[in-house]
Amino acid sequence: MRNLTLIPTVAITAIALASPLGAAQKNGAIAQDFKLTDANGKTVQLSQFRGKNVVLEWHNPGCPFVQKHYESGNMQATQAAARKRGAIWLTINSGAKGKQGHMTGPEVKTLLKDQGSKPTHYLLDMKGVVGKAYAAKTTPHMYIINKSGKLVYQGGIDDKPTANKAHIAGARNHVAAALNELNSGKKVSVASSRPYGCSVKYAS
Does residue 108 lie within any of the structural domains? yes
- 18-27, 87-96, 131-140: range with lowest mean pLDDT: 18-27
Q: What is the pLDDT of residue 20?
A: 39
Whether 183 is covered by a domain: the verdict is yes
The structural domain count of the chain equals: 1
Residue 26 lies in a domain: yes
pLDDT at 18: 38
* Domain span including residue 44: 2-199
Q: What percent of the chain has pLDDT over 90?
A: 87
Question: 164: helix, coil or strand?
Answer: coil
102, amino acid identity: H
**Residues 11-34: pLDDT tens digits?**
334 554 433 344 568 999 999 999
Q: Which amino acid is at 23?
A: A
pLDDT value at 167 more than 60:
yes
Extended beta strands in 39-129, E state: 43-45, 54-58, 88-93, 121-124
Question: Cβ distance 66 to 153 under 8 Å?
Answer: no
pLDDT of residue 25: 82
The pTM of this model reads 0.89
- Yes or no: say if 89 and 59 are a contact pair by the CB < 8 Å rule: no
Is the predicted pLDDT of residue 144 greater than 60, yes or no?
yes
For 47-73, write each residue's pLDDT tens digit: 999 999 999 999 999 999 999 999 999
Residue 165 domain flag: yes
Query: Is the residue at 204 inside a domain?
Result: no
Q: What is the mean pLDDT of the chain?
A: 90
In a domain, 179, yes or no: yes
Cα(46)–Cα(33) distance, integer angstroms: 6
CATH number of the domain enclosing 45:
3.40.30.10
